[in-house]
Amino acid sequence: MTESAALTQLNERFRGYYPVVIDVETGGFNAKTDALLEIAAITLKMDSNGWLVPDQTFHFNVEPFEGANLEPAALAFTGIDPHSALRGAVSEREALDHIFKGIRKGLKANKCQRAIMVAHNAAFDHGFVMAAAERAELKRNPFHPFATFDTASLAGLALGQTVLAKACKAAGMKFDGKEAHSALYDTQKTTELFCLIVNRWKKLGGWPLGPVETDQAETNQA
């Protein structure tokens, strides 16, 4: 493989990590006690020119686990009725098993070593996915146990905004506030935002990584 061809490979861009965008809707803020109610995941790939683009989408409404806490304020915020049969909800195990299998296929296809979660305020989503995977006793969790790519931090650096809606608008993206707090919609917008930031860095000449210029002050001190 030539050097230029290697730079269009996903495994070359993030040190062997396979980025997967995640968003969850929940019955509260405590990943150990509160219900996971909805999850969406979008895998990413590089096109032939090395631009980051969405790949596969996974989306599930999730049944509250036995004994799960459901905070009324959280349900009012998301508008989710966890007991509605119209949701077509599945168990945590079924939802995560399906998503994890899709991620593992992507890992193999892209020759990556491990998945890394991309999310907006990623510690929240990461905590709920890890807690649900533990409850479901899923042994082959593809995600790194603690590392994430947080688009709130990236957007703060690249766009001067940390709220998802404001960051999207600053980037020139459309954002429908009425669709927000749906796991699928928020995952789609987070994916668009992450790809935009990564691709803009490439467009500005930040990738492929060039020689690091020595700071003039450091040179003078030497």
Question: Which residues does the annotation mark as catalytic?
Answer: 181
Phi and psi angles of residue 113, each rounded to the nearest 5 degrees, phi first: -95, -35
The tokens describing 19, both together, are 């980025």
| Sheet strand arrangement including 36-46 | 52-61, 36-46, 17-26, 114-119, 143-150
Contacts with 201 (C-beta within 8 Å, 6 or more apart), sequence order: 158, 207
Contacts with 44 (C-beta within 8 Å, 6 or more apart), sequence order: 10, 18, 19, 20, 21, 52, 53, 54, 55, 118, 191, 194, 195
